Amino acid sequence: MEQNRLAAGGPAVQDDAGHDGAPDPIALLVAEFESDVVYLNTASLGLPPRRTVDAVRSALDDWRRGISNPVDFDAPLAAARADYGSLVGMPPESIAVGSQVSVFAGLVAANLPDGSEVLTAEGDFTSILFPFHAQARRGVVVREVPLEDIADAVTPATTVVSVSSVQSSNGRMVDLDALEAACAVTGTRVLLDTTQSTGWLPIDAGRFAYTVGGGYKWLLSPRGTAFFTVQDSLLDDLIPHNANWYAGEHPWSSIYGTPLRLAADARRLDVSPAWHSWVGAAPSMAMLQTVGTDRLHRHAVGLSDRFCAAVGIPATGSAIVSLGVADTAVPAILEARISAAMRAGRLRLAFHVSTSEEDVDIAAETLRPHLV
């Protein structure tokens, strides 16, 4: 069920006209998605729009022909960084890029003072848990509480809260307002993982000390793309343990020798990029930024609510729905050609810009008899 079966001709997205009578930008993206299935698995792997596939194919062809120039990969990376900033409300200068969420979580963990306390949510994604547990030999203590209790569990002894804005396993959302307020009282910093939210849920990254997000899910980008934001006042507190040539102020002139000459802004935390992944990220990020977070949010949650109503369960307000299903659901899903995932013993469905009302209705009709 975890297979990612790519929906022939693209899903038919409803044409919600704007207030000025113009089509909703999402309705114009019908031709961008070419899945052969009812694709409800964005929480595992985002479905690439056609423009992204075309860009990567072109770059690979240039590589094959021997005409690729490494310097040319800087432009799509810079564009993706800027468009990501537009989605999360941060300037490009406050955003570092890399390949994996865990690298940036590890950077925050490595910079913790000895004996720090880290507060986490039970059952959260391990990429933002393991880096802190790995600091145990320095006396770093990790305390886990239920997600709904995390704001109340912040104390003056809590150095950092590391938590996902949306839980990967079931789509549950942390109360960001309550968390921000609690941490403001104690001076606790927050590392917020937005991997399962940015792309459908409006997030103001500037509210939190650090945010990190992978690009290969809701940002519809290739794997090997990740973003890290840091509040400007905290940048100098981070030792750039991953310092490398690409973190230089002028990367192509800092590839040999000393002295250390890192970028003055958050680019000093950049990790040398997986080039072709960023070629794919740029058009995906541009598409999402053009649609805008408010429309993306209304679309995803509207489809999620539609599904919940159709199967008779309470709406979650999340783009991710987690269902208890009988074993009979598996063959029914396969027969209906629905791509989804099992997480923590439950069926997980994800609704995004590539999802149509028709997709939702097929999934609801298929799954309704198999809910437990």
Encode pLDDT of 234-288 as tens digits: 999 999 999 999 999 999 999 999 999 999 999 999 999 999 999 999 999 999 9
> 49: which residues sit within 8 A by CB, 6+ positions away?
29, 32, 33, 220, 283, 284, 287, 354
Confidence of residue 25 (pLDDT cuts 50, 70, 90): confident
Confidence of residue 97 (pLDDT cuts 50, 70, 90): very high
Encode pLDDT of 114-157 as tens digits: 999 999 999 999 999 999 999 999 999 999 999 999 999 999 99
Residue 90 identity: M
Residue 15 has pLDDT above 80, yes or no: no
CB atoms within 10 A of CB 368: 12
Region of residue 114 (phi > 0: left; psi between -120 and 50: alpha; otherwise: beta): beta
Q: Measured between alpha carbons, how far is 267 from 271 in angstroms, rounded to an integer?
A: 9
Q: Which of 185, 201, 265, 270 is nearest to 42 (CA)?
A: 201
Residue 156 identity: P
Encode pLDDT of 169-198 as tens digits: 999 999 999 999 999 999 999 999 999 999
Looking at residue 8, its pLDDT comes to 26
Residue 43 has pLDDT above 80, yes or no: yes
In contact, 70 and 62? CB cutoff 8 Å: no
Which residues partner with 162 through β-bridges?
120, 191
Q: Measured between alpha carbons, how far is 339 from 337 in angstroms, rounded to an integer?
A: 6
